[in-house]
Structure 1
């Protein structure tokens, strides 16, 4: 397969992949609340495109079929949890075909059970979801989550050293070895590594989609912290300085769009990793996670400048952050032309 390309998130999509929260997930203690949140998110996404929703059993499938939009396709597959961004297939393509890469998912460095989630991509292929233009790519020799990858769609990848160099993911692999591996597997010309930036309560070891995101090939939106009393101040100031040193593939500085630091959310004496960088790009729209704060509208306003031709709207994600994730974390885009 020649001329490999890892598509940007703003490339046209066939659908968004999601997984329904159920009694065997970590959502069990707040199931009604989070299922209501999922219904709202799915209803918003289906204004713009289809949703592929994984459900745990036939009973749940039949129940949801009665209430969901016809733009929701239900597939019965067992799951440990609902973080589709990190266990879902990572698509690369050339002019005619796709490869759905199936990297190993090990619960963000062996923190959580992932035995069922790690089988999902293989099972998706057996359902007949994908058309004949899609080939399956077994990459289970390497641990990688979609939330760790941010691409401009033109051969540049943005990621973090803290996540990809985690010893509980790929052992003693060096930065150079991982850099070369990603270039080969994802059709990249270069990798931009962020060495700074984190969010308290984050289980992912600083996934890039919690910190900084491509909006166009020359624009990056990022979390900015200007409050010197906030625990994130030093790390995020250093991250901002790093971003200012990065250059586009043509050698120009990036257009940097700051997103506000989300107001502090504490549950059971723990600060949760609320972030506006966890937005989702769908066809003709950008959905922004909101947390019931005055900062919500500031974040939406900032992203409207980054996506002037898109509908930009907020989606309540306060329930999601209680399990340390947000909107982008529970979704994975499937590129246009890959589905039957």
Structure 2
């Protein structure tokens, strides 16, 4: 059961032809009666993306890139886990497990893996990079029962690192990856010498909500916007994931719209999602939900763990990078209530929620600066 198996992607051409047919037969709604994104994904933006998807997008390019990095599967706790694994050629490389979130996938890390593993600067810290797909995401197996929450995933990731022969390693994550990485820090398994988060989640207390401090006020305002205008997806996925799952698994355009709205709101852009990410990048991610039909299974992680996101104190050495356009801003004053051993803290002026995807160079620099404090 502990065997690590190579995983080679070769999607059947018939699957791509059926996708094209579905795109050709989309039943479109009327245009939104507002001139912004306040009612959700704009019709013009989605039509542009779908037209590119149908005519110009090349899945085989993404497929080849994933295969070139190195893909594997292994069964942990009864579930087949898919992961990218890029070993560094450097003898001094530090093993790193890096975890994506929703609506992301391992493609978020395609722009950083090479530089992390084999730096252009021979003096820069190198890493053996392990990037697993969350259970029910990408090409990891879909849980058939309940119980695969962040604590169980964290334990599985520790087992994965041990199975790969890494007895001294670090962990990193944002979004659900932040929750899983925080859980790793809370569990403090043998071998984990520290963690890095690019979206720490700490719930404010009543005094915080009434603060007049500019930094605290900015964080509270960001939180209020999220709760009132930006969290409908999480309410649906944390309460009725099966209901929305039918649409996400059956309609490629519905799936793309569900994801594109978050790309727009959560990236550091100047009014268009394409300011931050290319259409190819976004569609690579959409395809990792469409091809394995994970719209419902991915949503179920919200049902399993949304109420415990970021719970538990962490005593292992911890680094935090707060990117300016993150969904939720966490002041250090809040973070250190549960992250009790912060050894690195940085506030980055550019970038948003998908830090590695949007700002690969800055992201790599943050990880190196952080983990230099722990080795």
Normalising by structure 2, we get a TM-score of: 0.29
Q: Which has the higher strand share?
A: 1
Greater C-alpha Rg: 2
